[in-house]
Amino acid sequence: MHFISSAMASFCLETTVEDAMQTVRDAGFDSLDFPLSVYSRPQDAPLRGDNWRQWARGVRRTADRIGLPITQAHASWEQAIPDDLHYESPYEIYERTMEACAILGCRQLIFHPVLYLHRMPDRSLWPRIHDWNVRWFHELLPLAEKFDIVINLENTFDYRHLQQPGDAPVPYTTAQDMLELVYGIGSNRVQLCLDTGHAHISGQDVPEMIRAWRGNLATLHLNDNYGLIRPVFEDLHLFPGYGTLEWKPIFDALRDIRFRGVLNIEPVVELARMPRAVRIIQLRAAAQTLQVLAEL
């Protein structure tokens, strides 16, 4: 039986860390996707304070007491490739994030590729963007080794709506782009995280992405949505079955590659405005959905 996991990023700032974690546990999940990214911003965030290690140890103690292991976590995602494409090393907050992940007892730390935030009608800039990312993640490898962390690279999408019809795909939206990044970095400390929602928005064949990645696939974000619906923000993080993704082929593909990792969702932002009791009801339905889909 797979572990089933939920993120809490969408509602954790509405309450205490402990209550947010307990909410996930009360809803029936047996592990947690912890949002280090949320707790690294703004400037007064816990990971930026002088006592950040003490804070992380407190989170770990809470997780142990509640019985909710942290099986994956999200790194900060603050950097973008500069307009002129000059190189900038990872900010100091990334080292804190990686050490905090280790303190939490978690090995799978999810990163977004560093993006160039301008329209790219063709692939002419792809080699420079690719080399920039390979160099950037290479700088993180000694920290991954030091803290025994596996860097999980997550597929992205055109969240700023920069591309026009007929343009080339945004870098790091396709299975091949993500594999080339893994191979370019060239380390067993680097694997892949599949966000099904991002793939759906980008018009990708999700089951085929799973099969293409096979042994490189380490973590999942099993999010649903309605695909590309400009001009709104499409990354709705709906529970499986609430959008237009076909879930049986996705789970068939996971079975075909013998995926043994955690089945994880990232619940919708709207949970933040709901009373705690209603939040638990909605999350419990999502947990039961994951369990049934896995069994089927």
**pLDDT tens digits along 178-211:** 999 999 999 999 999 999 999 999 999 999 999 9
Asked whether the beta carbons of 220 and 191 are under 8 A apart, the reply is no
3-state secondary structure of 254: helix
Residue whose C-alpha is closest to residue 63's, from 107, 13, 21, 5: 21
Cα distance between residue 204 and residue 178, in whole Å? 13
pLDDT category at 296 given cuts 50, 70, 90 is: confident
User: Which long-range contacts link 208-212 to residues 24+ away (Cβ below 8 Å)?
Assistant: 208/175, 208/253, 209/155, 209/175, 210/250, 210/253, 210/254, 210/256, 210/257, 210/259, 211/253, 211/256, 211/257, 212/175, 212/176, 212/179
- The fraction of the chain above a pLDDT of 90, given in percent, is 85
Work out the average pLDDT over 18-33: 97
- pLDDT band of residue 295 (cuts 50, 70, 90) is confident
Lowest mean pLDDT among 60-69, 188-197, 211-220, 285-294: 285-294
Contact by Cβ (8 Å): 192, 167: no
Cβ 94 vs Cβ 142: under 8 Å: no
pLDDT of residue 269: 72
Tell me the CA distances in angstroms from 245 to 28, 161, 208, 230, one per residue in order. Answer: 24, 21, 14, 17
CA 216, 218, 221, 222 dihedral sign is positive
pLDDT value of position 270: 84
The pLDDT value recorded for residue 1 is: 56
Round to the nearest angstrom and report the end-to-end CA distance of the chain. 12
Centre a 10 Å sphere on the Cβ of residue 122 and count the other Cβ atoms it contains: 9
Contacts of 172 (CB under 8 A, 6+ apart): 113, 115, 133, 153, 155, 156, 178, 181
Q: Average pLDDT for residues 67-96, to the nearest whole number?
A: 96
Can you tell me the distance from the alpha carbon of 36 to that of 55, in angstroms, rounded to the nearest whole number? 12
Task: Determine the Cα–Cα distance for residues 197 and 225; give it in Å rounded to an integer.
Answer: 6
The pLDDT-based confidence of 155 (bands split at 50, 70, 90) is: very high
Distance CA 218, CA 59 (A): 24
Q: DSSP letter at 91? A: P
Instruction: Supply the pLDDT for residue 268.
Output: 84
Strands (DSSP E) contained in the chain are: 4-7, 31-34, 70-74, 108-111, 150-154, 190-195, 217-221, 263-265
Average pLDDT over residues 278-292: 93
* CATH class of this structure's domain 4-295: alpha beta
Which of 45-59, 252-266, 267-281 bottoms out in mean pLDDT, i.e. has the lowest? 267-281
Provide the token pair at 78: 């603050």
Which tokens is 255 given?
A: 């079975």
Rounded Cα gap, residues 246 and 244, in angstroms: 6
* Mean confidence (pLDDT) of the chain: 95
* Structure confidence at residue 293 as a pLDDT band (50, 70, 90): confident
**Segment 157-170, tens digit of pLDDT:** 999 899 999 999 99
> Is the pLDDT score of 83 beyond 80?
yes
The CA dihedral of 77, 83, 89, 95, to the nearest 10 degrees, is -10
For 86-107, write each residue's pLDDT tens digit. 999 999 999 999 999 999 999 9
**232: pLDDT confidence band, cut at 50, 70 and 90?**
confident
